Amino acid sequence: NTYGMKFGKHVAPWLDLSVSTRVKDTTEGVESNDTRLEAGAKFKHKINQRWTSSLYLGSGDKYVKNDNHSYWVVTPGVKYKINDKWSIGTSVRFRDSYDTDNQQQDTTYAAKVGYKIADDTTLDFRYRIKRGDSDYNAWGFGLNFEF
């Protein structure tokens, strides 16, 4: 089970800044649970009225019992706006620790469907496939508020 929160700011139409945290509670026991704190910038390019590409660049810290380390993240993505309410998107997240002795390299493939409930509220549903330091397939839900 993974739980998280992200706080961000639209700085410009082409740039979002964010800070996020997440906690992972695994079935393998307390030693494999972890917490992350991450900050980054998402650069966006509107290709046309329906298509948008993005590039997220971030850095963070992963806290695991007796194995804390820092990492970098690069996530290119693309989003297609079906209409004023619905959108779909996909991305690939590349993550690696700054210190390669940690062997924390992974790649996560994601697909997402979003539904705009109101001008400032979006519900999304996503599927992720992660391969690398740990392997998993996961379904997730997100509720986004903008204010």
DSSP string over 107-122: EEEEEEEEEEEETTEE
> What's the pLDDT score for residue 34?
77
> What's the pLDDT score for residue 60?
95
The CA–CA distances, whole Å, from 35 to 32, 48, 69, 96 equal 10, 38, 11, 16
Residue with tokens 């820092």: 70
3-state secondary structure of 40: strand
Residue with tokens 């508020």: 145
**In tens digits, what is the pLDDT along the chain, a chain of 147 residues?**
788 889 999 899 999 999 999 888 776 665 567 788 999 999 999 999 999 999 999 999 988 877 788 999 999 999 999 999 999 999 999 999 888 777 678 999 999 999 999 988 999 999 999 998 778 899 999 998 876
For residue 45, the surrounding DSSP H or E stretch is strand 34-46
> What's the pLDDT score for residue 147?
67
